[in-house]
Structure 1
Amino acid sequence: MSTVAGTAPVTPSTPVTPVTSSAPVTDPFDWLEQAAADRRRAGLVRTLRHRAPDQDLLDLAGNDYLGLVRHPRVTRAAADAALRWGGGSTGSRLVTGSTELHAELEAELADFCGAEAALVFSSGYTANLAALTALTDADTLIVSDALNHASLIDGCRLSRARVVRARHRDPESVRAALAARTERRALVVSDSVFSVDGDAAPLAELAAACREYGAALLTDDAHGLGVLGPGGTGALAAAGLAGRPDVLATVTLSKSLGSQGGAVVGPRRVIEHLVQAARTFIFDTGLAPASVGAALGALRLLRAEPQRAERAGRVARTLSARLAAAGLPVSSPQAAVVSVRVDAPEDALAWAAACRDKGLAVGCFRPPSVPDRWSRLRLTARADLTEEQIDFAVEVITRTAPGR
């Protein structure tokens, strides 16, 4: 049985009335046209956009927070790894997919984050699925923030645990759920920085609630690593929680580290358990050597240039302040994500297209990707943006805003 805060329990065994028809189905996908039409009417059609390697756009849509994805040291590290180890890892991590390079990255990533150990996955998504499914069972309560990322939500769904949806960034809601639990174990789950508006979780308060009720804390630090904490060491370090035996984090290698992949960092016994029990580790092909090499190169570069982390945050605050001064409904960023609210999904699409026509790429978030009724332009504050580029971005966004 699973429970969502504020609703009655839902019992999975509720009988379902079978669909009956006098005629057999001849086209099992005939419903797709109606679904596509519904999306068009709602203004929610998604479009793949294939970018060229030399596109003439200022990119504030991607997640390259530290400006490392094209840094020569990072691309050289990727190329060297591919030349030495090959184009792919050849198998799952437990068969042939672990190289000495994977071990180097795990050791350095754990040290950087102040954790005992780390385990690299093919994506941040699979890292989240691993942590949530391998560390819970039917005798576990998961308390999940209402605005957590889809990968955390899917991990909760795949777990055998009972799930309570806590109010957004509300430690008292978490405490209430933990106090009422009947399960032997509990896991509190939250993004460190929420990817839509860039607001941060109250990790210190969540950790205190966990300690009070004997729960563990898992945070998805995808948008915190490289931006928060001393030198970009992450949200747990920023909250004074790095290295605690009851706390762990998942991270991505595809944002601040300019590569691809994900990892779990935390207590060594947790990492050892994931090696034995996490299906997305055991049955998934290991991360390609080029991606491992790029992430390792970026991590070493960040350690050598820790000022990149502070610069990304400063750019975000500058963008937010200047857009707010122009009268736009902009978020107050706590890391490197800035969002501007839009009334309707059609307006958001038109605004993003107008920005693109002027040479600026911005993200466009619409329902159902965002849980409330507001669409948004989402901006990435990069550490390598010049003052002239910031001026250009602010000018384009304000001049193309709906109604101006």
Structure 2
Amino acid sequence: MEEKSFFSGTAYLGMPFNEKFKQLVFEGIDRYGINFGASRNNNVTVDVFAQAEAEAAKRSHAEDSIIVSSGYLSAQLVIQHFLGKYKFIYAPDTHPALWVGQPQPPKISFREWTKQAINEVNSSDEPVLLITNSLNNLFPEIYEFDWLSKIEPRRKVCLLIDDSHGLGITGENGEGAYVRIPKLPNVETIIIASMAKAIGLDAGVILGTKKIINNLRTSPVYAGASPPSPGLLSAYVNAFGIYQEELEKLRANMKFFRSFIEDKKGLYYLKDFPVYLINDANAADYLASKGILISSFAYPDPTGKVLNRVVINSAHTKEEMRKVVEAIIEMKEQRTRIKDN
């Protein structure tokens, strides 16, 4: 049976099968055990939790951080903290982990939404929580936040950003979105992210000022939840060099792949993001027939349009990437011949 090439998922830095990282995980488990089944507010704890949070804050250039057991919990910890105190305004395509009930995020472009959000904030007499992604990983787009300066200085705003697909790979050293958000006196910025993507941990992180992080630590949601695996967090603390090495490989792979597709129509991508959208409804089936598995599903609405995307990671070889490019070119040539006939 022909071996399949896998170009899907979100393990952008290839951490699940990275031998150096796996060794750090094994060492961490030997030292701390597989899990720590107790509240983070327990009087008995282990030092690696504080070490990992200090490391996460340092790598992201934030004042402080909280690491919890999942990206979902990191989102809900913040949402529950502000619920009933702030007015929630959702941006397009926000992840369901950030929802309360069924908020119906607007089906408009991010740029259009920012104009609406500015007007809504400036006309509101209550504090506002703006909820958005740092980027769109489905139709690749990295969002800018300079529009925040148009919010009236007297308006109290908290900006909650989901950076799950940016943390570890965007920014100069993979620091993610926190460092590029404008620092304004009337805008409090909180970043949440799943660490199960580029970082390779079953955990979630919250980044912010010491004040907001300390407030979140008093939440019953935080107190009642078990922490992530201390063995995994030990690996994270000691893996900075591995992450940097894999980020360099990923960027080299993106440059290599991009050199073959720059003039190809029907492909949509960003220079610094490893997801390539193919505008062809049957692309996944065709590529699968060539032994190539790509990301192909409707999201977030399972009844919506299927999105076919090639996802590059740091572990892909040049041979594998050439195979994908050749198959895409062959597919497009075949489509053109059929159309012409």
TM-score range, shorter chain: 0.7 to 0.9
Aligned residues: 332
Deviation at 1:151, TM superposition (A): 1.4
Q: Aligned partners of 1:269 and 1:203: how far apart in 2?
A: 22
The equivalent of 2:87 in structure 1 is 141
2:228 is aligned with 1:287? yes
Distance 1:266 1:222 in 2: 15
Question: What letter corresponds to residue 197 of structure 2 in structure 1?
Answer: K
Say yes or no: does 1:252 pair with 2:194.
yes
Equivalent-residue separation in structure 2 for 1:197 and 1:313 (angstroms)? 19
What is the CA-CA distance between 1:262 and the residue it aligns to? Answer: 0.9
| Residue 243 to residue 395, structure 1, CA distance change in 2 (3 Å) | farther
Q: How far apart are the structure 2 equivalents of 1:243 and 1:92? A: 34
Q: Give CA-to-partner distance per residue, 1:146-177, whole Å, 9 cap, x none.
A: 1112212x2x439xxx9975843222121012
Give the equivalent residue in structure 2 for 1:69: 16
Q: TM-score, normalised by structure 1?
A: 0.72
How far 1:319 moved relative to its partner?
Answer: 4.3
How do residues 136-215 of structure 1 correspond to structure 2 at under 5 angstroms?
136-152=82-98, 154=99, 156-157=100-101, 165=106, 167-170=108-111, 171-183=114-126, 185-206=127-148, 209=151, 213-215=155-157
Residues 299 and 96 from structure 1, CA distance in 2 versus in 1: closer, same or farther, beyond 3 angstroms? Answer: farther
Note the aligned Cα RMSD (angstroms).
3.2
Q: 2:241 & 2:147 partners in 1: Cα distance?
A: 32
Equivalence map 1:222-237=2 (5 Å): 222-237=164-179
> CA separation in 2, counterparts of 1:367 and 1:223?
15
Tell me which of 358, 362, 367 is aligned to 2:294: 362
Q: Post-superposition, which runs of at least 4 consecutive aligned residues in structure 1 deviate over 6 A?
A: 242-245
Match of 1:396 in 2: 327
C-alpha separation in 1, matches of 2:228 and 2:68: 6
| 1:207/1:166 CA distance change after superposition, 3 Å | farther
Number of the residue aligned with 1:51? none
Give the CA deviation at 1:323: 4.3
Q: Residue 231 of structure 1: SS of its match in structure 2?
A: coil
Distance 1:60 1:113 in 2: 28
SS at match of 1:120: strand
Q: What is the percentage of aligned positions where both structures have the same residue? A: 18
1:346-404 superposed Cα distances (whole Å, 9 cap, x missing partner):
x4xxx424433433221112155379x53211222223433332211222344356947
In structure 2, the residue corresponding to 1:104 is in which secondary structure? helix
Task: Name 2:60's counterpart in structure 1.
Answer: 113
The structure, 1 or 2, with the larger RCO (C-alpha pairs under 8 Å, 6+ apart) is 2
2:328 is aligned with 1:328: no
For 1:399 and 1:97, the matched residues in 2 are separated by: 61
Give the Cα separation in 1 of the matches to 2:216 and 2:177: 22
Alignment equivalent of 2:307, drawn from 376, 385, 397? 376
Offset at residue 79 of structure 1 (A): 0.8
**Is 1:58 the counterpart of 2:9 in the alignment?**
no
Change (3 A) 1:237 1:169: same
1:244, 1:99 → 2: CA distance? 37
Q: Which runs of 5+ in 1 are unaligned?
A: 1-54
Looking at structure 1, the residues matched to 178 and 171 of structure 2 have their Cα atoms a distance apart, in angstroms, of: 8
CA distance in 1 between counterparts of 2:44 and 2:306 reads: 41
Counterpart-to-counterpart distance in 1, 2:194 and 2:205: 6
2:158 is matched with which residue: 184, 207, 216? Answer: 216
C-alpha contact (below 8 Å) 2:201/2:232 kept by paired residues: yes
Pairwise mapping of residues 10-159 of structure 1 onto structure 2 (< 5 A)? 56-95=3-42, 98-134=45-81, 136-152=82-98, 154=99, 156-157=100-101
Helix, strand or coil at the partner of 2:296: strand
Whole-Å Cα distance in 1 between the matches of residues 133 and 8 of structure 2?
20
Bigger shift: 315-324 or 86-95?
Answer: 315-324
- Report the equivalent of 1:23: none
Offset at residue 258 of structure 1 (A) = 1.9
Contact 2:156-2:186 within 8 A present in 1 as well: no
Structure 1 residues 139 and 271, CA gap change in structure 2 (3 angstroms) = closer
Query: Aligned partners of 1:398 and 1:150: how far apart in 2?
Result: 36
Mapped contact 1:115–1:242 kept (Cα < 8 A) = no
How far has the Cα of 1:206 moved from its partner?
3.6
Q: Secondary structure at the match of 1:218?
A: strand
Cα-to-partner distance string for 1:240-285 (whole Å, 9 max, x where unaligned): 6599972121122212212221110111111111111151x22222
Q: 2:181 and 2:272 mapped to 1: Cα distance?
A: 13
Residues 265-320 of structure 1 deviation map (CA, whole Å, 9 limit, x = unaligned)? 111111111111151x22222111233233334434335x4xx4465356446646
**Against the structure 1 CA distance between its residues 296 and 114, is the aligned structure 2 distance closer, same or farther, given a 3 Å change threshold?**
same
Letter matched to residue 233 of structure 2? V
Residue 312 of structure 1 is matched in structure 2 by: 250
Residue 387 of structure 1 corresponds to 318
- SS at 1:157 equivalent: coil
The one-letter code of the counterpart of 1:335 is F
Question: In structure 2, what is the Cα distance between the partners aligned to 1:244 and 1:313?
Answer: 36
Aligned partners of 2:186, 2:58: CA distance in 1, in Å? 14
